[in-house]
Structure 1
Amino acid sequence: MESLFAKLSSQNVNIPFSGKTRTEHDLLGDKEVPVEAFFGVQTLRALENFNISGVTLKFFPMLIESFAMVKEATAEANCELGLLEPNVKDAIVEACKVVKSGSLNEHFIVDMVQGGAGTSTNMNANEVIANMALVSMGKKKGEYSFVHPNNHVNLSQSTNDAYPTAVKLAVIFSNQQLIDVLKSLIEVFRTKGVEFKDIIKMGRTQLQDAVPMTLGQAFEAYAVTLSEEIERLEQNVKLFHEINMGATAIGTGINSDPDYAPLVTKILARITDLPLVQAANLVEATQDTGAFVMYSSALKRLAVKLSKICNDLRLLSSGPRTGIGEINLPPKQPGSSIMPGKVNPVIPEVVNQIAFKVIGNDLTVTMAAEAGQLELNVMEPIIVYSIHESIELLRNGMRTLKDECVIGITANEEHCRNLVLNSIGLVTALNPYIGYENSTIVAKEALETGKSVYNLVLEKGLLSQDELDNILKPENMIQPRKFTKK
């Protein structure tokens, strides 16, 4: 027994065990289970077999809560069809409510990465709910003759319909949390856009001076590009409203009542308050993971945009003396163990790295979806882990970017303006006023002599200072305007 408790301890199972056990059995034989555990023998088999990532189900509480919703709906449907005694149904429903509260999360100990197409996860949920139901009935854990993990909690189901359905619910709920954080980040960028609306700066293409713009326009563009991702996420997550409950093993509905599939879908829609619908073809729905591919691509697209923005923030704040230095990121920590005074853009850097991981997770989802064979895709656990990890990383990363970086960004207004006045790119803005030939001459001389475009235009008498200053007003530089031929 010492090895059992040592194993549980090594897996960071934070349950105060007394050392006492109960005996449970499955098709492989008997096994001792801690008396305090709400999980059972099949969960312990999975613990032994899948010491893989160290990331267990408890890391994703929304997934646990979604499993409880599925099991609650199935209990109600089975009871309504006369397949489950009312007292057993009530006990299971009560147990599901306890699980949804999060108080039993420590008993969901199965690794997210597992073989068996999610069977270990499903059985972990079945066993916890069965034992909680037994406790609510005044019975002992493991007295499965009263409430059995398979015969009662898993009645009319297979892992192959219960698992993907719970996963889809978890993604739907997690997606809303992700969007909430995204919206708050967008709002901060938009606020900065207003704050910096009058600060003229040089726009750049291919890392070369292009034409003037305002710093506010740059930050408003970040707000807009991220706003587009709200629509993408909301659009793609709707694919998860189609579920395959009632499919059981491969979509034929074996071992379920003919009325079960539409009934459990209806009940689950009520419990979740989601517009869930039964898949038109349950055989197809049981083997298809296309919705996960689509949603993962939306996460990747968001990650790519966030990474591009963070690249920009690092470039715009580079220096402080030898870089672009148009903005200042809030200093968060000393940047070097050898170079005194150095402060690094650590927050954008960590978001860049999050983006790389999300992009890698998307490839994992793609490969796992492609690896499905015949009537089931057994690679769903790695799909589930990858998507939930990406959501968690993006949510935490965006919150950190907002709170620890974007809110505190300040502008070096005078430096921004001087860069514009000294930029060769300024001739593009002056071209409509002094002509292409004069602009070319001024640009060439500026490059050769190091003189500013501003001063050369004045020296050559191409424009008066009042005319030049009027042209260079921010409101005249950042949008189309009418020109009249001289």
Structure 2
Amino acid sequence: MRREERDLIGVREVPGDVYWGIHTLRALENFPLTGLPLSSHPELVVALAAVKEASALAHLELGTLPEERARAVVAACREIRAGRLHDQFVVDVFQGGAGTSANMNANEVVANRALEILGHPRGRYEHLHPNDDVNRSQSTNDVYPTAAKLAVYASTGRLLDAMTVLRDAFGDRGGHFAKTVKLGRTQLQDAVPMTLGREFDAFALTVRDDADLIGLAATSLLEVNLGGTAIGTGLNADEGFARLAVAHLETVASVPVRPARDLVESTQGIGGFVRLSGALRQFAVRLSKICNDLRLLASGPGAGLGEIRLPELQAGSSIMPGKVNPVMPEAVNQVCFDVIGADAAVCAAAQAGQLQLNAFEPLMVHHLLNSANRLAAACRLLAERCVAGIEADEERLRALVERSAGLATALNPVIGYQRSTALARECRASGVPVRELAARDGLLTEGELDELLDPWRLARPC
């Protein structure tokens, strides 16, 4: 069973059992690019429904849309926000037209479901029209950016929750290893003693600082251009619509959105997306470095550093018996690389915008949602399946500290740099600990060496 629909190009038959219409059909034909439908980003589907619901509520208050139509649109939108009909959002995440296909897909699904609520068959748009009613006082150019900001803001919130889990996991290990002395390293060479706890506390602070940066960047997404219509001038918007629509959107979405200070600038400006993308990239870079450190510290275990033991999650080789790989940090590394690449794509799309609109927001939104969601998953997995179960090889850590030439650094203030250098060089050449060499040469008494080379004092000099 099929139904006929008409647009500016002509007449087409649409499957009778779908909620989308002719505009969505043409988008399906025009943009078979990624194989990922709009529904692969449920946050965006929910956000589009929230914008349509807020707009209908504004018209209901203004009296600019018949009450029964407005209430039917609201009811349809609430069903979508509750998870229904997401499979009807079928246009590709990449599309020309600055999101026009996504907006029309939403208009058609909402309209056809609202028609059913009113007791009419799908496609009978004389009773409730996708453009004239669902899209009244709106344009793709204010609907899509507003929905995109809501969607990305929501995904960022979930990321921040996951970052808290990871921060706490590192902090817990930091406390657990607070008295575990180890050797620090710079340029992958032996440096001076520290505690393993401080190493993990530093990881926790990195995550916390980047969460603060991401949270700050996300707040810039709360300024929306709904009501600006095509280019920000508000052409065809009913008087009072913009103010009421944004007010209703704040309630519908439970997000403290605010009207843009300048609708023209907000329609063409994508600073919030660029700012957030940069913050996500920074976290990805620094999280990847943490994962590199975990893999290094656990390397070997016999022929590597072997200072910590990561939880064993799966067999590491199809040929080497007993081999276990650091699979969780490796997987998180790959998420981080993906986010770093996504930021490059976002920046390229951002600079390609022209005059009063950026046509490439669909790419930016797709990558930002993917980045936030993947980082959130990575943080939780790293915290729960790796960090929480990390153990220290206490015996190896102690031995590495005791025979390190780096202990000579602690003698600098007493015997001077030149003599300390000679001790360090002999320690490396002979393998005899610095302490024994200093005692042999009579440079310091046993009591002085006990005090100066106490590993715990060296690890916490201040």
The question of a shared fold, defined as TM-score above 0.5 by the shorter chain, is answered with: yes
Contact 1:296-1:365 within 8 A present in 2 as well: yes
The 5 Å alignment of 1:38-57 reads 38-57=19-38
After TM superposition, the structure 1 = structure 2 runs for residues 353-368 of structure 1, keeping only pairs within 5 Å, are 353-368=334-349
Offset of 1:257 from its aligned partner? 1.9
How far the C-alpha of 1:466 sits from its partner, in A, is 5.4
The answer to whether the 8 Å contact 2:401/2:455 transfers is: no
User: Which residue in the other structure is 2:330 paired with?
Assistant: 349
Structure 1 stretches lacking a partner, 5+ long: 1-19, 482-486
Aligned 8 A contact 2:181 2:456 in 1? no
Q: In the TM superposition, what whole-angstrom CA distance separates every residue of 1:52-87 from its partner, at most 9, and x where no partner exists? A: 112222121111111111001111112222220000
Q: Distance in 2 between matches of 1:315 and 1:432?
A: 32
| Aligned positions of 1:93-112 closer than 5 A | 93-112=74-93
The structure 2 residue matched to 1:313, chosen from 294, 303, 306, is 294
- Secondary structure of the corresponding residue to residue 131 of structure 1: helix
- Maintained 8 Å contact 1:198/1:474: no
- The TM-score, its normalising length taken from structure 1, stands at 0.92
Partner of 1:193: 174
The one-character-per-residue Cα deviations of 1:374-414 (angstroms, maximum 9, x if unpaired) are 11110111111111111111111111111221111111011
From 209, 214, 226, the equivalent of 2:190 is 209
The higher relative CO (CA closer than 8 Å, separation ≥ 6) is in 2
For residues 167-178 of structure 1, what are the structure 2 equivalents within 5 Å? 167-178=148-159
Q: Give SS of 1:425's match.
A: helix
Give the match for residue 378 of structure 2.
Answer: 397
Query: Residue 388 of structure 2 is aligned with which of 379, 399, 407?
Result: 407
CA distance in 2, matches of 1:185, 1:68: 32
Letter in structure 1 aligned against 2:225? N
The aligned counterpart of 1:380 is 361
The answer as to 2:242 corresponding to 1:261 is: yes
Please say which of residues 343-352 and 157-166 is displaced more in the overlay.
343-352
How far 1:457 moved relative to its partner? 2.7
SS in structure 1 at match of 2:233: coil
> Which residue identity is paired with 2:188?
L
Shift in Å at residue 113 of structure 1? 0.9
Deviations 1:308-341 (A, max 9, x none): 0001001111111111110011122222223222
Instruction: Give the TM-score normalised by structure 2.
Output: 0.97
Q: Could you say which residue in structure 2 is the equivalent of 1:5?
A: none
Q: Give 1:117-156 correspondences, 5 Å limit.
A: 117-156=98-137
Aligned length: 462
* Structure 2: runs of 5 or more not aligned: none
The residue type paired with residue 46 of structure 2 is E
Query: Map of 1:19-58 to 2, 5 A cutoff?
Result: 20-58=1-39
- Structure 2: how far apart are the matches of 1:60 and 1:306? 24
Counterpart contact for 1:182–1:398, Cα < 8 Å: yes
* Counterparts in 2 of 1:456 and 1:106: CA distance versus 1, 3 Å: same
Which aligned pairs between 1:83-102 and structure 2 lie closer than 5 A?
83-102=64-83
* Larger deviation, residues 78-87 vs 185-194: 78-87
Q: Percentage identity across aligned positions?
A: 50
Q: Distance in 1 between matches of 2:461 and 2:181?
A: 16
Task: Name the CA distance, whole Å, in 2 between partners of 1:468 and 1:147.
Answer: 88
Paired with 1:138 and 1:425, the residues of 2 have a C-alpha distance of 82
- Give the Cα–Cα distance (whole angstroms) in 2 for the partners of residues 367 and 440 of structure 1: 52
Q: Deviations over 1:154-185 (max 9, x none)?
A: 00000000000001011111111110000000
**Contact 1:199 1:474 (8 Å CA) reproduced:** no
Distance 1:474 1:63, change over 3 A: farther
- CA RMSD in angstroms comes to 1.5
Question: How far off its partner does 1:30 sit?
Answer: 2.4
Q: Supply the AA of the counterpart residue of 2:425.
A: K
1:169 maps to a residue whose letter is L
Residue 454 of structure 1 aligns with which residue?
435
1:431 CA drift (Å): 2.6
Q: Distance in 1 between matches of 2:107 and 2:55?
A: 12
- Decide whether aligned partners of structure 1 residues 446 and 344 sit closer, same or farther in structure 2, where only a CA change above 3 A counts: same
